């Protein structure tokens, strides 16, 4: 049963997605702004669980904008995620920070695949902020996931021959790793091994193949196409990112 706040976030997100599908950029931007403002209210009220639903709705709008090649909307969503994630770091909201990282990862990987450079760079900047903040606040899972996301983006950017973006992703990842080691938090060896452990684990479970990190064994989920990566028009878009982190159909 959704709370009233969650229901509001769902409705705003669905309206924003509908606007993107209809190529109504103005309305899509408006709904993204409404979600940012609502997310800020939830942050001020320390409502972390409700804030997750705002992140999901922003993620869905951003993914749909990438699909429809509407970069202004995708970039606005990423800016909103960046703004809210910085505030959530200050609040030490470790659970929702994982949601922020995964939402940014999804939109960012799609942006790289479709060479939407403004959005891709915004995703990199946001992941870097999340990663450094996670180290500072000692959020282990968020740190590991974010460094893996940056590694994936570097891999995909290299596949697309986007040299500058590849280097930026590698540098951001390295900065987080060095900060973690200097802080006595997570060692480089553990960070390096994390995506390999995920790859080995999900390879045993066919229903989890959509979580396969890009660049690792088996069929990774770096091959984004509108048919495979993004949802069908009528499909339910209310899945939790905690269980469908890198859905190819989102």
By CB atoms closer than 10 A (0-12, 13-18, 19+), residue 211 is: middle
Q: How far is CA 66 from CA 75, 126, 167, in A?
A: 9, 17, 22
Is residue 249 within 8 A of residue 231, CB to CB? The reply is yes
> Over 90: is that where the pLDDT of 222 sits?
no
Q: What length does the chain have?
A: 250
DSSP string computed for 47-103: -HHHHHHHHHHHHHHHHHHHHTT-HHHHHHHHHHHHHHHHHHHHTT-HHHHHHHHHH
The neighbour count for residue 214, using CB atoms within 10 Å, is 24
CA 229 – CA 219 distance, rounded (Å) = 14
Q: What mean pLDDT is predicted for residues 116-126?
A: 97
DSSP string computed for 95-156: HHHHHHHHHHHHHHHHHHHTT-HHHHHHHHHHHHHHHHHHHHTT-HHHHHHHHHHHHHHHHH
Closest CA to 106 of 132, 91, 127: 127
Q: What mean pLDDT is predicted for residues 3-21?
A: 96
Calculate the average pLDDT of the chain.
Answer: 86
Band (pLDDT 50/70/90 cuts) for residue 111 is: very high
Q: What percent of the chain has pLDDT over 90?
A: 76
Q: What mean pLDDT is predicted for residues 163-174?
A: 97
pTM higher than 0.85 for the full model?
A: no
pLDDT (0 to 100) of residue 200: 76
């Amino acid at each position: 049963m959704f709370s009233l706040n969650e229901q509001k976030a769902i409705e705003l997100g669905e309206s924003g997605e509908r606007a993107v599908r209809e190529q109504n950029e103005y309305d899509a931007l408006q709904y993204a702004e409404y979600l940012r403002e609502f997310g800020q209210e939830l942050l001020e009220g320390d409502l972390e669980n409700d804030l997750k639903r705002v992140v999901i709705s922003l993620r869905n709008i951003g993914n749909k904008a990438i699909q429809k090649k509407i970069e202004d909307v995708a970039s606005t969503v990423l800016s909103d995620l960046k703004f809210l994630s910085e505030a959530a770091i200050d609040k030490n909201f470790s659970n929702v920070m994982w949601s922020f990282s995964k939402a940014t990862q999804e939109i960012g990987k799609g942006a790289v695949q479709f060479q939407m450079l403004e959005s891709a760079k915004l995703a990199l900047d946001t992941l870097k902020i999340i990663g450094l903040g996670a180290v500072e606040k000692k959020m282990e899972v968020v740190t590991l996931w974010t460094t893996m996301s940056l590694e994936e983006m570097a891999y995909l950017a290299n596949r697309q021959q986007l040299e500058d973006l590849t280097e930026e992703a590698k540098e951001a990842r390295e900065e987080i790793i060095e900060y973690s080691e200097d802080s006595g938090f997570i060692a480089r060896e553990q960070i390096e091994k994390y995506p390999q452990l995920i790859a080995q684990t999900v390879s045993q479970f066919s229903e989890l193949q959509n979580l396969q990190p890009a660049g690792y064994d088996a069929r990774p989920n770096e091959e984004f196409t509108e048919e495979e990566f993004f949802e069908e028009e009528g499909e339910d878009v209310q899945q939790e990112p905690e269980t469908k982190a890198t859905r190819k159909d989102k």
